[in-house]
Amino acid sequence: MKAFMLLSIQDLKVAFRMGKVNGQMQRALAVKGISFDIPENSTVALVGESGSGKSVTAMSILNLLPSNAERQGKILFQGRDLLQTSLPELQAIRGRDIACVFQDPMTSLNPVFTVADQIMEPLIKHMGMSKKQALARAEELLNEVGIPEPKRRLKAYPHEMSGGQQQRVMIAVALACSPKLLIADEPTTALDVTIQRQVMELMAKLKETHKMSLLFISHDLGVVGEISDQVVVMRHGEIREKASVAEIFNAPQDSYTKALLACRPSLSENPARLMVIDDHIAAQKGEVRAQAVGKAKDPNAPVILEARGLQKSFYFKAGLFSKKEFKAVKQVSFKLRKGYTLGVVGESGSGKTTMGLTLLRLHEPTGGEVLFEGKDLLKMSGNDWQKMRRRIQVVFQNPYASLNPRFTIGQTLVEPMEIHKIGKDHEDRLARASALLKKVGLDDTVLNKYPHEFSGGQRQRIAIARCLTLNPEVLVLDEAVSALDVSVQAQVLNLLKDLQDEFGLSYVFISHDLAVVKFISDEVLVMQNGDVVEQNETQALLDAPQQEYTRRLLGAVPRGYQGEAPVSAAAAA
């Protein structure tokens, strides 16, 4: 029996007006005449790299696009063309029949409204409920999405909840009116593996319970393989392949699909380098590309950084005259050798980022020692500390927030050299900046450009180049690749390995992605609630984890389609 098509996208084109040049309006075509269907009670995944057009396609359904967007084609929802509906009609559909869950819940939830206010709003607007009825339903929804103590949490504000809880609240808001279609735009990208697993299973379960369809947008085929029935692969605004999840994973037809599947780090394999999209496509065409070979690590390399009993507490007011202590990092100890990488993993709230920032004294520690070549960083001050700061640098998670939007790339790279008096003069520093840009795969034509002119992967390369201006010996990388799609992530991970080989850098690599940690790390430190629960060489830890918590982290890693029914069907069983 043929499934009824809930939504049918037919020859959709989306262009953005870019302004006039010589009296002619310039347009950038983001989506180039694509077509696909979403049957009732099914999950269709839109997959592709950043810039592939997948989010533009999804946002076109409800016209949640900027005012300079132009749409052509047909978007039929239950036979009704949404491109021809008036704004009031579309507003009646938004939230009631079609709802959205976005990537970053903190920017989607209103910070000045309570959780109750935000869940009640669509219930009152679309369902005509009274405030009392809406409040009771809001509590039911919080309970349904797995928020503990739902009655108490109704009074909370978004900033008082963790990332995973915020995403659950977003799902509760989206489900309030029992929509027929839920659009989930990268809903698990910024979450750690266990919370990601919980959110995936929750969405699959709710899909079956509410008998709705799900349009799931992601760049990660590992996630897609576990939740989808059908997969649509996009690149450069075009559909490269669409098929069932089994066909996509077992017998992909398009070279780009094959490349996407192959470039993600794996827990089962450990190559010296990750092949990127272009490498895979070239190999499928019979072209041979030279691959760099990593240097062997020196087993007798000296210890460059050592933490001994590192502690960090935060204090909050508990009354008029009393304070409450929260121990974020408790007695962390490790040794990092020159040219080696220490991976630090754990769930959100485990203390891994706080530990990394405390190493750099971006949080002042409350106890312990951090020895850099035998000297305690925590006791340094003045000139001694200023000189040492050059030698230990940080790369942050968000490449969009870590670069000053008002500085050109040249200013961004030259400023730290001027502060630390590296280079003879401005020209010398610019030459050094150009050389470093080439090291990270960019050229000196970018020096006069601004951060907004670059993609996320390019910005992360610029952030790494900025660190290298100071000739550091240790880099603390705080979720430095988690915001990047899989192909760009592979490029940045290869770059980090190349730089380590060339300059003898040591890394403290903080991540929630165990497959990435396996690829880049020599040793892994597992954190939970501020404590180190397990520490071992990478392969030994992954082969035989000693703690239940570590086994749970490993079990939560998305492994793609395994020849079984997707999570959605499994959840209903």
d(CA 256, CA 263): 11
Is the domain of 2 the same as that of 76?
A: yes
- From 267, 288, 319, give the residue that closes a domain: 267
pLDDT band at 309 (very low <50, low <70, confident <90, very high): very high
Q: Is residue 194 part of a domain?
A: yes
pLDDT band at 569 (very low <50, low <70, confident <90, very high): very low
What's the pLDDT at 201? 83
Cβ atoms of 534 and 545 within 8 Å: the answer is: yes
Q: Is residue 451 part of a domain?
A: no
Is the domain of 136 the same as that of 31?
A: no
Cβ atoms of 503 and 469 within 8 Å: the answer is: no
- 3-state secondary structure string across 135-201: HHHHHHHHHHCCCCCHHHHCCCCHHHCCHHHHHHHHHHHHHCCCCCEEEEECCCCCCCHHHHHHHHH
Backbone phi, psi, residue 224, to 5°: -60, -40
d(CA 228, CA 221): 10
Among 70-79, 310-319, 559-568, where is mean pLDDT lowest?
559-568
Task: Say if residue 399's pLDDT is above 60.
Answer: yes
Which tokens go with 463?
């952030």
Is the domain of 81 the same as that of 224?
A: yes
Among 6-10, 396-400, 530-534, 564-568, where is mean pLDDT lowest?
564-568
Is the domain of 78 the same as that of 200?
A: yes
DSSP state of 445: G
Task: Say if residue 385's pLDDT is above 70.
Answer: yes
Is the domain of 255 the same as that of 203?
A: yes
Is the domain of 7 the same as that of 150?
A: no
- From 141, 176, 211, give the residue that closes a domain: 176
Task: Say if residue 555's pLDDT is above 60.
Answer: yes
Tell me the one-letter amino acid at 352: K
Q: Is residue 339 part of a domain?
A: no
* CATH number of the domain within which 198 lies: 3.40.50.300
Among 105-114, 367-376, 517-526, where is mean pLDDT lowest?
105-114
What's the pLDDT at 293? 60
Q: Going by C-beta distance under 8 Å and a sequence separation of 6 or more, which residues neighbour residue 144?
A: 172, 175, 206
Task: Say if residue 570's pLDDT is above 50.
Answer: no
Mean pLDDT of the region 546-563? 81
Cβ atoms of 158 and 166 within 8 Å: the answer is: yes
Which tokens go with 349?
């709230």
Q: What is the mean pLDDT of the chain?
A: 86
pLDDT band at 16 (very low <50, low <70, confident <90, very high): very high
d(CA 558, CA 225): 8
Name, of 180-194, 212-226, 464-478, 486-500, the range with top average pLDDT: 464-478
Q: Is residue 249 part of a domain?
A: yes
- From 215, 233, 267, give the residue that closes a domain: 267
Count of domains observed in the chain: 2
Q: Is residue 217 part of a domain?
A: yes
pTM, two decimals, is: 0.80
Residue 97 backbone zone (phi > 0: left; psi -120 to 50: alpha; other: beta): alpha
Domain holding 61, by residue range, is 1-17+24-97+180-267
Cβ atoms of 119 and 135 within 8 Å: the answer is: no
Taking Cα atoms as reference points, which of 29, 60, 46 lies closest to residue 240?
46
Other beta carbons less than 10 A from residue 329's beta carbon: 30
Task: Say if residue 67's pLDDT is above 80.
Answer: yes
Is the domain of 135 the same as that of 213?
A: no
What's the pLDDT at 239? 96
Q: Which helix (H) or strand (E) holds 369?
A: strand 367-372
d(CA 281, CA 287): 9
Task: Say if residue 567's pLDDT is above 60.
Answer: no
Please state, for a pLDDT cut of 90, what percent of the chain lies above it.
42
Q: Is residue 233 part of a domain?
A: yes
DSSP letters spanning 16-45: EEEEEETTEEEEEEEEEEEEEEEETT-EEE
DSSP letters spanning 324-345: EEEEEEEEEEEEEETT-EEEEE
Task: Say if residue 141's pLDDT is above 80.
Answer: yes
Task: Say if residue 139's pLDDT is above 50.
Answer: yes
Task: Say if residue 473's pLDDT is above 90.
Answer: yes
What's the pLDDT at 291? 59
What's the pLDDT at 568? 42
Among 171-175, 213-217, 329-333, where is mean pLDDT lowest?
171-175
Q: Is residue 320 part of a domain?
A: no
Q: Which helix (H) or strand (E) holds 116?
A: helix 115-127
More confident residue, 572 or 74: 74
Is the domain of 35 the same as that of 148?
A: no
Q: Is residue 409 part of a domain?
A: no
Is the domain of 4 the same as that of 133?
A: no
pLDDT tens, position by position, 265-275:
877 777 778 87
Is the domain of 245 the same as that of 142?
A: no
Cβ atoms of 75 and 60 within 8 Å: the answer is: yes
pLDDT band at 566 (very low <50, low <70, confident <90, very high): low
Taking Cα atoms as reference points, which of 75, 391, 29 lies closest to residue 237?
29
More confident residue, 108 or 330: 330
Is the domain of 87 the same as that of 189?
A: yes
Mean pLDDT of the region 548-561? 82
DSSP letters spanning 67-89: TTEEEEEEEEETTEEGGGS-HHH
* Residue ranges with strand state E in 273-319: 303-317
Give start and end residues of each alpha helix (H) in 176-266.
193-210, 221-227, 245-250, 255-262
Task: Say if residue 277's pLDDT is above 50.
Answer: yes
Alpha-carbon distance values, 367 to 103, 278, 330, 377 (Å) = 37, 48, 9, 12
Alpha-carbon distance values, 361 to 17, 376, 388, 510, 514 (Å) = 47, 12, 11, 16, 26
Mean pLDDT of the region 144-155? 86
Task: Say if residue 191's pLDDT is above 90.
Answer: no
More confident residue, 320 or 409: 409
d(CA 99, CA 183): 6
pLDDT tens, position by position, 222-248:
788 888 999 999 999 999 999 999 999
pLDDT band at 1 (very low <50, low <70, confident <90, very high): very low
Is the domain of 186 the same as that of 209?
A: yes
pLDDT band at 339 (very low <50, low <70, confident <90, very high): very high
